[in-house]
Structure formats: C-alpha cells, structure tokens
Chains A and B, each alone.
Chain A
C-alpha cells in the first residue's frame, strides 16, 4: 500500500473503500463467479495467434454492430412459466396427484412431483436459484458456456452448469437425495462444506440431522460416510487433471516396459486422490496414504494431495492425520494454500475445544486472506470463539462486522443473536 502515515485520513478513506469493495459481493457470488469463469475458459479457451488481417474489416464491422446492439440491450434474466400449478409469488406447489412443470426461457425444465413445494428465489441471465422446500423434482438444465444454476435442498446446495438430475428434500427427516442422470454437479453442504462432485450414474444422500453425506458410485455397494460436523469447511477441490499434469514426475531411469507400467500406476495414483475424495472414497485415501507412509507424504506430497488427505482424514474423524496434513500444508505452501490450512486448523481446534488455538488460526487466516473464500466462515468462527472466551460484548464488534460484510451469510442469525443480547 501507499506508505500510510499513522494519522493520514486519506489512508483511512482508502481502507474504507477497500472494505466497501470486499463487502459488495457475497462469498457465494464470488464462488459462483469463479465457477462461471473457469467453465467459460474451458469452453472458449485461449485465443490462438493467427493472422486475421483478411477478415479484420468484416469482423470489426460485425463486432461494432454487435456492440451497438449490446449497447442498448442489457442482459435479461431468464423467465419461466408454470404448468400444472399456480405461481404464488415465488412459490410453486404441485397439487396432490399432479406434477407441476416449470419451463425456463433457456429451455431448461423442472418437473416437481405431486405434493412438492419449491421456490424460484432468483433468476439471472445465466441461470436461476431454486429452493426445493419439500418433495422431489426432475431437473434438466440446458448447458451454455456461462450457465450457472443453483438448487438448494435444506443446507445442501447443488451447483450446475448443464445436466439432468433428480433432487429431493424431505424436511421431516432433513434428508437430501440426488441422482445424476447426465453430466456432473458440485454439492456443498452445511457451512460451505464440499464441494463434492457427483457424476452421472451416482447417487448422493445428505442427512442434515445426522450430519452425513454419502456418495454411491454406480455398480458399487460401498457407501462411504462423511461427517458434516467434522468437515464443515471442506475446501474447494483443486482441478484434478491440471494438478495431475503438474505433478508428473521426471521419467524414471528404468527399462521402458516396466517403467511404463510403473509410471502409469503412479500417475493414476497421483491423479486420483482429489478425485477419490470428490467421489467420497475417504477411507480408501487415508489407507492409501498410510500404505505409502504418512510422514513421507507430509514432506513430499503436493498441495493438492495434502489437501485431499486432510479432507479424507477429517471425513473419517482421523483428526491426528488431518492436523498433521494441514500443518504440513501451512509450513510447505505459504500463500493461498497455507492460508486455507490455517482456516481449517481453526475449525479443527474449535471442534476439539482448544479455542485459543482456534482463535489464533482464524486470526491468521483473516489477516492473510481478508477477502479469501473462507473469510465469512473464519469471521464467524472468530465471532463464536471470542464469545466463548471473552464474552458477548467482545464478540459484538465481530458480529457487526459479519453482518456488514456478509449480509446474506449463513451465520447471520448467530450474529444478530450476539448483538441482541446485553
């Protein structure tokens, strides 16, 4: 920053502007925005360096025409019509014995089973946010380069760019069921845990009451369990294919045939930890790491593998391995990865009851990544631990800060409760 003087009001105004900018979007908006950008990057790719001189004039004319049109036509949010039920404000209730169908202007469709109730919370130019309050819905989202839909079922959020799936939420048992027919989706659970990638043919079950998430692979009877309470902050899955390529070791100096086999085996192993965690194979990943040697992994594994191992360990309540993995991440990968590890260590210590240590890690994260993906969760964690350690009044400034920065955050009610108590 610009060498702030201790009492320089300009620097105070600059700080205020920075805080206003940080608070202008929610964590969810930022996360969706990143998802949209990477999806568009994958479909549109980087520009290729070719000579377009011959087409420059017509292309420029076309661009000018398109720009002129865009100039006057703001992007329009999707519209939708309801068949088989009444639209009551944002609510649609399928009557008993009849389905209700929602048809969106991008040709995406949602069929709600009889007796289901849902709410179309918001529509955007690239998608919508739909809340399943009760019952089941069959959804078909048409894929476009920038599609970004969100379906919420209780505390579970399904992020979609284009796919077909069935989603249900039972408020009585607080369970979520998701069956993927085509494509893949990302599911996040309570307090931003996840994402867990669910692919075509797989079935996801989330139980908010028991705090478990399960992914059933096609043709498999193994249903791994994940304790939500122990992984309330599952970090973003790194891009497995790209990480795997980066992780490619130098060619082994062995004769080609056996070397090739070993090379392929190692590559498959290295590429798979993040993917296997995303598929819910937590116990298998921990077992794999133990077979390979935990200590060796802590000092040699990539950031992606360490992250995958720490996630898998937390999912299986193996807090010792989780803590060691996160500590290694923090020591070996300063920067964004290390900061994320600080946040996750904060969660781990908060759950363990070592609140002073938890507070220290939350503080570290907030100072290292004030606008990071887990800023809301870290601030909420700090708010909770300060309330317990130092009392309500000490937590109130943090609660105010939370409400200002994350007015739609999941801990809004806790913050308001802290503020309302004398």
Chain B
C-alpha cells in the first residue's frame, strides 16, 4: 500500500535522494497515512500530540496516575478510527474530544466505585509523584482545589481554551456546545477562578508575584 507520505516523495528527479520529512507533514497528510497503517505517521502523531493529550487529561482530572494509561487509550482510539476522521486538519480537536470523554468516564467510574465502597475515595491506589518543591506543591494543590470547584464543562472550557490554547470554535465543538454557551462558560470560569484564587493564600501570592514581574 502506498502511503500519502510516500506519494509526496515521488515527483522528484530520478537518482536524487528525495524525501518528504514526516515531521513537516501537515495533520491531514499524517491522518491519511496513519489510517493506512503507516507507523512513522502514527509515531509523529504521538510525538506531536501526546503532551497536548496529557495536558487535556490533567486539566480534567488533576495529577493522577491514570493519565498515562488514558493517554494510551486516546491514541488507541485514534488508531481504531483514524479512517473515520473526515477532516485530518481537525486531528487536535478529535484527540481532545476523546480525551475529554475518557476523562469523564473515568471520573464517573470512580464515583460508582466510591458509591459501592470498593474504594473509600473512588480513586486508584497509585498517585502521581508529587512535586518535591514544597512551595510549588502548595500552589499547585491550591490550583487543583480551585479547579475542582467548577463544573466539569466549565473546567474543560478553561483548560482547552486557556491552558491548551484551542480556538473558541474548536473548544465548542469538542464540548458539544454552541459558541455563545462556551463564551458564557468562559466568563463564569473567569469569575470563579478570580474569586477562588483570591481565597487561596498560596495562589494569591503567586499571582501577586507574577503581577510584580509583569509590571
């Protein structure tokens, strides 16, 4: 089977060493090649988006030992359905959508476990390694508390738009809401974050220090 990446290498003069570097291929080309089982393309998709997917999962769940496993699941979902990704240029949105859904499922599953008293917290026994820097840990713990105070949709609106830098329309599509609803959620997320951060001493001090650096 000829992958699109190989096709891209064809129109070059004979006897020249001509290549289409995979790391410069656009997402659409990568998706097309990955759908045909091209391992290089799949590896490039991983290299390009695994940190993004981890970021989305971390935004949804906080520091959690399950994030690496869920990252695997997101990319395996892409492996299974690469041929159904109609617009390869929307690969990032596709991966974000799967990550958001898997994180929501995991959170629901833990609630059920907690309800059934299989585990007192509903969480898996392993926890991600905490930061050694005590001050940094306190700030991050405060941020986690602030994010936990928001609904999942609002939280993801903030994470996808601000932390992951996705466009408004992309985020709306991932969350399955209209643009105007997303803008309302973002506004409410902003209000909540500012109010809640002011009540967290470590976070308030951090923001004050950043203000000082900016100013």
Contact B69 A44, beta carbon cutoff 8 Å:
no
Contact A17 B159, beta carbon cutoff 8 Å:
yes
Contact A408 B210, beta carbon cutoff 8 Å:
no
**Could you give, for residues 7-35 of chain B, a 1 whenever the CB lies within 8 Å of some chain A CB and a 0 otherwise?**
00111111111111111100000000011
Bound complex: CA A146 to CA B180 (Å)? 43
Q: In the complex, which residue of chain B has the Cβ closest to the Cβ of A243?
A: B40
Say whether B86 faces chain A, with CB atoms less than 8 Å apart. no
CB distance from A83 to the nearest CB of B (A): 27
Residue with the highest number of chain B CB atoms closer than 10 Å, among A22, A42, A46, A253: A46
Interfacial chain B residues near A334, Cβ < 8 Å = 24
The interface residues of chain A, by DSSP majority, are classed as helix
Interfacial chain B residues near A20, Cβ < 8 Å = 58, 63, 140, 143-144
Say whether A34 faces chain B, with CB atoms less than 8 Å apart. yes
Contact B10 A250, beta carbon cutoff 8 Å:
yes
Q: With A46-B35, A337-B23 as known contacts, state yes or no: A17 contacts B54, CB within 8 Å.
A: no
Contact A72 B113, beta carbon cutoff 8 Å:
yes
CB distance from B65 to the nearest CB of A (A): 9
Say whether A388 faces chain B, with CB atoms less than 8 Å apart. no
Number of interface residues of A (CB under 8 A): 71
Q: With A16-B143, A37-B76 as known contacts, state yes or no: A24 contacts B58, CB within 8 Å.
A: yes
Partner of A303, one of B21, B47, B158: B21
Contact B6 A75, beta carbon cutoff 8 Å:
no
Residue with the highest number of chain A CB atoms closer than 10 Å, among B12, B46, B68, B190: B68
Q: With A7-B215, A300-B17 as known contacts, state yes or no: A72 contacts B118, CB within 8 Å.
A: yes
Q: In the complex, which residue of chain B has the Cβ closest to the Cβ of A71?
A: B109
Contact B51 A371, beta carbon cutoff 8 Å:
yes
Q: In the complex, which residue of chain A has the Cβ closest to the Cβ of B54?
A: A21
How many CB-defined contacts (below 8 Å) exist between A and B? 208
Partner of A24, one of B67, B159, B207, B215: B67
Bound complex: CA A71 to CA B111 (Å)? 11
Within 8 A of B (CB), among A234-264: 238-239, 241-243, 245-253
Say whether B149 faces chain A, with CB atoms less than 8 Å apart. no
Within 8 A of B (CB), among A1-52: 1-2, 6-7, 9-18, 20-26, 29-30, 33-34, 36-38, 40-42, 44-47, 49
**Could you give, for residues 276-306 of chain A, a 1 whenever the CB lies within 8 Å of some chain B CB and a 0 otherwise?**
0000000000000000000000001111000
CB distance from A55 to the nearest CB of B (A): 16
The interface residues of chain B, by DSSP majority, are classed as helix
Contact B50 A246, beta carbon cutoff 8 Å:
no
Q: With A21-B163, A72-B113, A242-B40 as known contacts, state yes or no: A333 contacts B23, CB within 8 Å.
A: yes
Within 8 A of A (CB), among B51-71: 51, 54-55, 58-59, 63-64, 67-69, 71
Contact A36 B72, beta carbon cutoff 8 Å:
yes
Within 8 A of A (CB), among B126-144: 128-133, 136, 139-140, 143-144
Bound complex: CA A247 to CA B10 (Å)? 10
Contact B21 A248, beta carbon cutoff 8 Å:
no
Say whether B165 faces chain A, with CB atoms less than 8 Å apart. yes
**Could you give, for residues 355-377 of chain A, a 1 whenever the CB lies within 8 Å of some chain B CB and a 0 otherwise?**
00000000000000001000000
Interfacial chain A residues near B76, Cβ < 8 Å = 37, 40-41, 44
Listed from nearest, the 7 A-B pairs whose CB atoms lie closest are A242-B40, A14-B162, A21-B58, A1-B165, A371-B51, A21-B55, A404-B133
Given contacts A9-B207, A301-B17, 16 further A-B contacts (CB under 8 A): A18-B163, A24-B58, A30-B50, A33-B72, A37-B75, A37-B76, A38-B46, A45-B79, A47-B80, A71-B112, A246-B20, A246-B40, A252-B14, A252-B15, A404-B136, A407-B132
